[in-house]
Every structure is written in C-alpha cells, then in structure tokens.
C-alpha cells in the first residue's frame, strides 16, 4: 500500500490512507469474531465462510439487514462510538433468530463525512462485540468517505447478517392455539427504535446538553447513558430454548412496538392478550411519556416498553422455557396468553 496515495483525491476530500489506518486499527477487534469456518482475513473483495451442514440435512439461508436509525445522533452528541455497533448487529441478528436460524456472518457499512481512523475503529469495535455476543463472524465491511455530501463529523451505520437453519426446523406457528403462553425477554432500554420521537421529546437537536442531565427515574445515570444503552442480543438464549422446547412464535419488538411486531408471529385467528400491569416497564419509558406528554397507546405503538423479544410456547412448557432463559442470563417472565381473535389486546 506504500504507493497508494493520491494528492488529487485528498484535495477532493478523500484520504485513502486514512482508510488503511482504520483497517489496521480495527483488525484486533475483528479477530475476536473469527472462528474455524472463516477463510482468509480482511482485505479481500469478499468475506469467505465455510458452511458446515453436518446438522442440517436441508440447510436454508436467511438474511437480514438494518441500521441504527437516529440513535446515531445520541452517539455523536456524546462523542461515544464504541457501543453503537452492538445496536447494528442486534437489529439484524435478533430478526433472523425469529425464524429459528443461527447467524453465521455479519458485514457492516459505514458512510462518513471524513474518515477519522480512530473513530471508525471505535465503531467497528462495537460491531465486533455485537458479533461475539451473537456468535457470528465479522467477515468484511466497507467504509465510504462522502465529502460534501455529509458533514465531516457525521456518519451512518448499517449492516447485514446471513444465518442458516435446517428446513425442518424453520419456526412454524401452525401449532399456535388459545391458551399458549407468551414469554417476555426484557430489553436494555429503548434499543434502536423511536429515537426521532425521543429527540423531539427532549429537543435534543437544539439542546444536546440535556443528555448530561440526571433524572430521579434513571437511578443516577445521565439521560445520554440511559438512551445509549446498546440493544440486547437474544440469539444464544433463544436458540438454547429452541433446542429443548417447541417454540411456536417469536417477535422481535422494534419500531411499531407491541401493536406492529407481536402480530407478525401470530397464527391467523389468534390474538395476544396482555395485561398492561404485567408488562415490566422500566422507569425510562415513564420519563419519556411524562416529559413528552405521550399517550399510552402511542408509547406501546412506538417503543418496546421494556420487552425486547416475545416467545410463544405451549402452557405446559412455559416454566421450562423460562428456566432455560434464566440460565442464559435472561430475566424472562410470563407476559400474556394467546386467545381467539386478532392482533394485540392490552387490557
């Protein structure tokens, strides 16, 4: 790479040597995600991964892609970039596990106004941490410098994952029936959805200094610390449950909250009946509702309200599923039941 430098390109705002330095700095983080199925390393035109189908007679690949949304603004206002990559991974891998698939590989894409190698490496550090938590490998990525299109301090982050599941084990809700039990897996906070509303509630774009405020509801944390808490990754505990329990539906609670996401896992003719008093809602959401004057319906239709993922199992297996989840670090609990009807009933 010694001869790879263009004064003309640098004058136009793109320093390709900064890209090389960013790759050098991030390699230590990427190495944490590699396993025996990874072939080669960073620097090729594509990431190679050997697919082991020993336990999959009929393997099916599943892919998912997402970004972090305007939560990026919180990271930028706080100048803290080492956890936002966890969010990016979580938004993708939590989706594919809803089909019963194990995420295998992840790739990220970072667009920035100016490539500051140390900042890019911090972002990728978070991506790598997310991959470790999900048990997948970071096999590649791309950093694109966009001078004149984005402000120098600005960046956007997106990614995608590819997972695999045997065709016979793809999650099927055909056995769902009234009386089945829904189990809540608690969230770590707002996760990565609803931040346009969060920013409006606190007028953060005009007063980012509010992120340093401490509220009684937050137990000593600053608002920024509470909001930037990375999205919880549920892959390992959910896959552990699926090995021992018949899971009839999984919902990743993202944008649209309860009303949009839970119905996506329901069998036709079934509804999710949930007592609002049974939802263990962290004080952060009470703070958002109070400061913003947000109606209860809109809260449940925008935020996860403390529930990051919902599993539906037969009533006879609910206790066993909760026990497995608790053994894997999830403070899971009974959220509601399946009843005849349609959609979500919050009572």
- The pLDDT score that the predictor gives to residue 219 is 84
Instruction: Find the Cα–Cα–Cα–Cα dihedral 122, 127, 128, 130, rounded to 10°.
Output: 130
- The pLDDT score that the predictor gives to residue 247 is 96
- The pLDDT score that the predictor gives to residue 6 is 58
Nearest C-alpha neighbor of 9 from the set 145, 165, 105, 184: 145
Q: Enumerate residue ranges in the chain where pLDDT < 50.
A: none
- The contacts of residue 209 (CB under 8 Å, 6+ apart) are none
- The pLDDT score that the predictor gives to residue 192 is 94
- The pLDDT score that the predictor gives to residue 53 is 81
Structure-token pair, residue 121: 């490496």
- The pLDDT score that the predictor gives to residue 8 is 57
Q: Is 205 exposed, middle or buried (0-12, 13-18, 19+ CB in 10 A)?
A: exposed
- The pLDDT score that the predictor gives to residue 318 is 96
- The pLDDT score that the predictor gives to residue 254 is 94
Beta bridge partners of 57: none
Measured distance between the N- and C-terminal CA atoms of the chain, rounded to whole angstroms? 63
Mean per-residue pLDDT of the chain? 91
- The pLDDT score that the predictor gives to residue 324 is 97
Contact status, residue 128 vs residue 32, Cβ threshold 8 Å: yes
């Amino acid at each position: 790479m010694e001869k790879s430098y263009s004064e003309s390109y640098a004058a136009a705002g793109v320093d390709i040597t900064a890209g090389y330095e960013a790759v050098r700095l991030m390699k230590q983080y990427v190495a944490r995600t590699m396993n025996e199925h990874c072939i080669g390393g960073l620097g090729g035109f594509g990431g190679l991964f050997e697919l082991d189908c020993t336990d999959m007679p009929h393997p099916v690949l599943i892919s998912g892609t997402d970004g972090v949304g305007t939560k990026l603004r919180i990271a930028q206002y706080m100048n803290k970039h080492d956890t936002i990559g966890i969010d990016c991974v979580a938004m993708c891998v939590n989706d594919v596990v809803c089909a019963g698939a194990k995420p295998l590989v992840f790739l990220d894409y970072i667009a920035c106004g100016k490539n500051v190698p140390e900042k890019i490496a911090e972002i990728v550090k978070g991506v790598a941490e997310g991959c470790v938590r999900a048990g997948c490998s970071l096999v590649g990525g791309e950093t694109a410098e966009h001078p004149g299109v984005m402000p120098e301090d600005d960046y956007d982050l997106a990614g995608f994952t590819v997972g695999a599941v045997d065709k016979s084990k793809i999650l099927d809700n055909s056995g769902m029936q009234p009386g089945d039990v829904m189990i809540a897996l608690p969230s770590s906070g707002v996760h990565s959805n609803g931040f346009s509303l969060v920013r409006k509630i606190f007028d953060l774009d005009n007063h980012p200094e509010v992120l340093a405020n401490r509220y009684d509801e937050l137990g000593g944390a600053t608002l920024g610390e509470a909001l930037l808490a990375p999205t919880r990754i549920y892959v390992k505990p959910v896959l552990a449950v699926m090995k021992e329990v018949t899971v009839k539906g999984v919902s990743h609670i993202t944008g649209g909250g309860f009303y949009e996401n839970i119905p996506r896992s329901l069998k036709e003719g079934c509804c999710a009946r949930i007592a609002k008093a049974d939802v263990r809602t962290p004080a952060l959401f009470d703070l958002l509702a109070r400061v913003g004057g947000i109606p209860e319906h809109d809260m449940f239709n925008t935020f996860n309200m403390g529930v990051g993922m919902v599993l539906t199992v037969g009533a006879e297996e609910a206790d066993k599923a909760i026990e497995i989840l608790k053994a894997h670090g999830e403070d899971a609990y009974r959220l509601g039941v399946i009843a005849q009807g349609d959609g979500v009933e919050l009572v």
